């Protein structure tokens, strides 16, 4: 399928500023030519021609933190847990959520944990063209030492040897990354690094030997003066883990080290933004709301420290793993700008930098000749108002028009 988009405002995911009046040609699903200057028509038969005047063309976006097996919403996580023994139900739901994300312009995704590693099967089904969805980089199960996550969906290990076996299993199943929990709480509410340096390093080393990245969940709903809450993220970074997920508590030294080592931060600020906004409607108890607000405040402080030191920050919502719905990455991008990120950096956090994290930048994440035509046309200009990304005019994946 061949396509011409002319006179469009281009955000290519690379340049610091948009370029007005650009023409992009797609042939056989690949970006074949890019040229500047207003053109009335190309008059090429057998090409779909779109006049892009007043529209913005961008790379399709990539949500770096999703759980396709969960629907989001107030009770979504609980429902995913309750039905974790019914793989067919979970797979059906994951397929529906993949479609929702794609329709919102999210042409790629990273799934960071699913019961039984169902998201690996989902990623394969999408790659095979059996199911519409983003191109998915999928971890298998969540792996933890005790006290990171309650609930039945997780693989819990207690020794280094068990961790090694479970990671081997995930890799054999076809995982595209390894996801572990790195933070937990003592009974008195103080925090600690659950893995210990040796195990955290084993996780990073095993992932890297298999050509994968390792992601660590680091999360507290406690004020910053709670003892131990900065330890988990620091230890994960020191051990060579590639991305800190949530990262509610990242101190100055850890932010500096992340910048040095090239560690990514996925703040998932949607996770507490959604319940805080819904608090009145849900009748959320005061203490619960206070916990979400504490997370929000410590996350904003951590993101600011990361921005100050130049840490690579990527956009991820935690859709399905939190009350957040799939296909809402634009809200996360808005939150990143509210935490001090420039709009163009928030766009890169959801396109080129996100593709760098998932190891897919050679194929997607920017608009360049030779790359796959995963593109979105936006009615408006997200540089002036990120909300324009809610007005999707068209979505293309591999040059095929999806929406």
Binding site for Zn ion (CB under 5 A): 318, 321
Closer by beta carbon to Zn ion, 216 or else 395: 216
Smallest distance from Zn ion to CB 205, Å: 23
Q: DSSP letter string over 2-33?
A: -EEEEEEEE--SSSSS-EEEEEEEEETTEEEE
Smallest distance from Zn ion to CB 25, Å: 39
End-to-end Cα spacing for the chain: 15
Smallest distance from Zn ion to CB 122, Å: 16
Bridge partners of 215, per DSSP, are 179, 243
Closer by beta carbon to Zn ion, 273 or else 318: 318
Token representation of residue 105: 């312009």
Alpha-carbon dihedral of residues 177, 127, 118, 165, nearest 10 degrees? -40
Q: How many CB atoms lie within 10 A of CB 237?
A: 30
Closer by beta carbon to Zn ion, 64 or else 207: 64
Closer by beta carbon to Zn ion, 100 or else 217: 217
Report which of 308, 397, 362 is spatially closest to residue 127, judged by C-alpha positions. 397
Task: Find the residue with minimal CB distance to Zn ion.
Answer: 321
Closer by beta carbon to Zn ion, 68 or else 396: 68
Closer by beta carbon to Zn ion, 119 or else 360: 119
Closer by beta carbon to Zn ion, 115 or else 321: 321
Smallest distance from Zn ion to CB 66, Å: 8
Smallest distance from Zn ion to CB 246, Å: 7
177: left (phi over 0), alpha (psi -120 to 50) or beta: beta
Smallest distance from Zn ion to CB 320, Å: 8
Closer by beta carbon to Zn ion, 321 or else 365: 321
Interatomic CA distance for residues 216 and 184, integer angstroms: 12
Closer by beta carbon to Zn ion, 176 or else 321: 321
Closer by beta carbon to Zn ion, 231 or else 318: 318
Smallest distance from Zn ion to CB 214, Å: 15
CA-to-CA separations, 243 to 102, 182, 256, 259, in angstroms, rounded: 24, 11, 14, 12
Report which of 58, 8, 97, 153 is spatially closest to residue 396, judged by C-alpha positions. 58
Smallest distance from Zn ion to CB 313, Å: 16
CA 155 to chain CA centroid, Å, is: 22
Interatomic CA distance for residues 249 and 162, integer angstroms: 28
152: left (phi over 0), alpha (psi -120 to 50) or beta: alpha
Residue 108 backbone phi and psi in degrees, to 5: -135, 165
Burial of 397 (0-12, 13-18, 19+ CB in 10 A): buried
Smallest distance from Zn ion to CB 318, Å: 4
Report which of 380, 329, 344, 12 is spatially closest to residue 393, judged by C-alpha positions. 380
Report which of 382, 292, 299 is spatially closest to residue 340, judged by C-alpha positions. 299
Smallest distance from Zn ion to CB 317, Å: 9
């Amino acid at each position: 399928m061949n396509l011409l988009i002319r006179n469009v405002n281009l955000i290519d995911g690379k340049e610091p500023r948009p370029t007005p009046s650009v023409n992009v040609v797609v042939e056989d699903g690949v970006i074949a030519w890019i040229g500047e200057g207003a053109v009335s028509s190309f008059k090429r038969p057998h090409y779909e021609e779109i006049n892009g005047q007043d529209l913005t063309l961008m790379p399709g976006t990539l949500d770096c933190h999703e759980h396709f097996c969960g629907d989001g919403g107030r009770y979504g996580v609980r429902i995913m847990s309750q039905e974790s023994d019914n793989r067919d139900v979970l797979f059906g739901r994951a397929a529906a959520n993949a479609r929702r994300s794609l329709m919102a312009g999210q042409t790629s995704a990273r799934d960071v944990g699913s019961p039984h590693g169902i998201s690996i099967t989902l990623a394969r089904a999408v790659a095979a063209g059996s199911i519409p969805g983003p191109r998915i980089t999928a971890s298998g199960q969540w792996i933890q030492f005790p006290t990171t996550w309650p609930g039945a969906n997780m693989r819990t290990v207690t020794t280094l040897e068990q961790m090694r076996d479970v990671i081997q299993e995930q890799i054999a199943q076809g995982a595209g990354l390894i996801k572990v929990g790195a933070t937990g709480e003592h009974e008195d509410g103080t925090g600690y690094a659950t893995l210990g340096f040796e195990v955290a390093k084993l996780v990073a080393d095993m992932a890297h030997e298999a050509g994968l990245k390792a992601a660590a969940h680091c999360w507290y709903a406690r004020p910053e003066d709670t003892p131990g809450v900065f330890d988990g993220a620091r230890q994960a970074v020191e051990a060579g883990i590639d991305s800190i997920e949530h990262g509610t508590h990242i101190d100055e030294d850890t932010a500096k080290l992340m910048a040095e080592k090239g560690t990514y931060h996925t703040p998932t600020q949607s996770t507490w933004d959604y319940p805080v906004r819904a608090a009145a409607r849900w009748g959320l108890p005061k203490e619960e709301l206070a916990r979400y607000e504490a997370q929000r405040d410590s996350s904003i402080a951590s993101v600011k420290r990361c921005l100050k030191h130049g840490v690579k920050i990527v956009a991820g919502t935690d859709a399905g793993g939190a009350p957040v719905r799939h296909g809402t990455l634009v809200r996360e991008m808005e939150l990143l700008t509210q935490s001090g990120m420039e709009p163009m950096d928030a766009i890169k956090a959801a396109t080129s930098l996100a593709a760098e994290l998932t190891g897919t930048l050679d194929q997607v994440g920017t608009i360049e000749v030779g790359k796959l035509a995963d593109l979105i046309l936006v009615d408006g200009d997200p540089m002036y108002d990120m909300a324009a990304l809610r007005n999707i005019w068209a979505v293309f994946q591999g040059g095929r028009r999806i929406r």
